[in-house]
Amino acid sequence: MQYHLVDELKRICGEKNVYDSPEDKIAYSYDGTPLYYKEPLAIVFPQDADQISRIMKFANESEFAVVPRGAGTGLSGGSVPVDNSIVMVMTKWNKILEIDQSNLTAWVEPGVITGNFQREVEKIGLFYPPDPGSLNVCTIGGNVAENAGGLRGLKYGVTKNYVMGYEMVLPTGDVLKFGGKNYKDVAGYNLRDIAIGSEGTLGIFTKILLRLIPLPQRSITMKAHFNSLLDSGRSVAEIIASHIVPSMIEFLDNTTINCIEDYTKIGLPRNAAAMLILEVDGRGDIVDFEANKILEILKTNNGQGIQHTSNADEANILKTARRSAFSALARRAPTVILEDATVPRSELPVMIEKVQEAARKFDLMIGNFGHAGDGNLHPTCLIDERNQSELDRAMKAFDFIFEEAIKLGGTITGEHGTGLAKKQFFEKSAEIPALDLMRKIKSSVDPNNVLNPGKIFSRSPKCESYKF
């Protein structure tokens, strides 16, 4: 069976684009998600949309699964192989096809690296804001499939706000083109948004049309720390209530501050309960006006060590703490589980307390940081996966955290996706009619369940045949 599979794939894509050595299988058995691992039957690098289409048809005939993959930086197991699957790697599709300066749009191939694309459009004064943490590695295709977020979500939105259209190969092998350069287009169902965030379960992108905006001219970066969580929470609430939309409001808790200080020794206040790093951007005097207003709010809410700058180098220094947050935490333990529970921003202070409660209750080290402006937190659990008891406690802690997030009207994932890692939480927390509808969509688009099966949700609630 496998010989036949590899031979046929080679016939479709060419000898040089199909791999099945033990070494290659190991190297494509994982993505950026800890704890998930499975070897595929083969790895294929398709050269054009027609090849993808033929592979999908072949998959339907021969009943193997196809798992699409970009750079493999995802944090929910979206591109980890499943049973009886091949991995389809899109990283070589890395061309920017067109930048249309009259319509402010760009056609790109899915393997274009997000950071490279940003630098390219910034050269001509344009801006593509979504900036997930792995932007220098991850691909646009993966970003659209996961609806990736980033630091600028509050003001500029996330990936979905910048996708105007796409061409994708459906699980049956048909090629679907949808959307275009129209800012307004209401013809038919909005198939665009069903594809965005579909985590590679509904189709494989072959081209993506992105929206661009003018690059902000200047920015002011600010920093303050607080002796109580309440004060930091109040500051954020007041800034938002004063109708200022900063391009960034980042939050660090005491555990994270201490880990960063241990690692960078940049003189952070070890006793501070929280730290905020903020940025406003735009044109002319408005930027100063907004910054002054924010500084005032920080002061009245007992902000300590307040600093601000419009100089890019100095801003970088202020942002060092936030940038090193993940590194500093990651160095503490062999296994780092980075989650992304998100709540309506008014509930943020409560959610922060709940994360601290989880750390105490289950006796774990959990650092907490994240995008305070949009309610997206990154509770980060530091454990050793070889210690079973610690691993079990971590799972219980996340169960608790997700439950509390849902109670507050929040969600189990703000930007990483559900994939395999959060599937069980999703199935528990999602509304039954919504889950049913999603299952129906999946089975009508992919009747034989060949494209990234078993991700996000199991196909049927009682089916236990998929084991990951």
Partner 1 sequence: MCLTTCPTYDLTKFERSSPRGRIQLIRAVADGRLGITPAFVDEMNFCLDCQACETACPAGVKYGRMVESARVLIEKTKTRHTISDRIKKIGLNFILTSRIRLRIAGFLLWFVQASGIQKALIKTGLLDLFGKNLTEYLKLLPQMKFRNTEGMLKGINLKPRNPSYKVAFLSGCIMDIAFSDVNYDTVKFLLKNNCEVFIPRGQVCCGSLHAHNGEMDTAVKLMKKNIDIFSSEGYDFLVSNSAGCGAFMKEYGHLMEDDAEYKERAGVFSEKVKDFSEFALLLDYSQKMKSPEGVVTYHDACHLVHSQKISSQPREMLSRIPGMKLVNLHESTWCCGSAGIYNVTRYEDSMKFLEKKMGNIRETKADLIITANPGCMLQIQYGLQKDGSQAKVEHPATLMNRLMREE
Binding residues for partner 1, rule: CB under 8 A, are: 19, 21-24, 26-30, 71-72, 89, 91-92, 113, 134, 136-137, 326-327, 330-331, 336
Please tell me the distance from the alpha carbon of residue 77 to that of residue 412, in angstroms, as a whole number: 15
Q: How far is the CB of 416 from partner 1 (least distance, A)?
A: 16
310 backbone φψ class: left, alpha, beta (φ>0; ψ -120 to 50): alpha
How far is Cα 85 from Cα 77, in angstroms, rounded to an integer? 14
Helix (H) or strand (E) holding 210: strand 204-211
Nearer to partner 1, 39 or 353 (CB): 39
Q: How far is the CB of 21 from partner 1 (least distance, A)?
A: 6
Compute the least distance from the CB of residue 190 to partner 1, in Å. Answer: 34
- Type of residue numbered 185: D
Both structure tokens of 289: 């006006």
Beta-bridge partners for 18 = 44
- Dihedral sign, Cα of residue 391, residue 394, residue 395, residue 396: positive
User: Nearest approach, Cβ of 175 to partner 1 (angstroms)?
Assistant: 24
| Residue with smaller CB distance to partner 1, 28 or 117 | 28
Sequence-distant (6+) residues with CB within 8 A of 401 are 339, 341, 354, 355, 358, 379
Residue closer to partner 1 (CB basis): 41 or 280: 41
CA 74 to chain centre: 7
The residue among 105 and 134 lying less far from partner 1, judged by its C-beta, is 134
Q: How far is the CB of 6 from partner 1 (least distance, A)?
A: 16
Q: Which is nearer to partner 1, 42 or 412 (CB)?
A: 42
How far apart are CB 115 and partner 1 at their closest, in Å?
Answer: 8
The residue among 216, 341, 371, 369 whose CA lies nearest residue 278 is 371
Nearest distance from C-beta of residue 369 to partner 1, angstroms? 13
HSE, CB side, 13 Å, CA atoms: give it for residue 180.
5
Closer Cβ to partner 1, 52 or 202, answer by number: 52
222 vs 338 by CB, closer to partner 1? 338
* Residue 139 contacts residue 120 (beta carbons within 8 Å): no
The tokens describing 175, both together, are: 């090629």
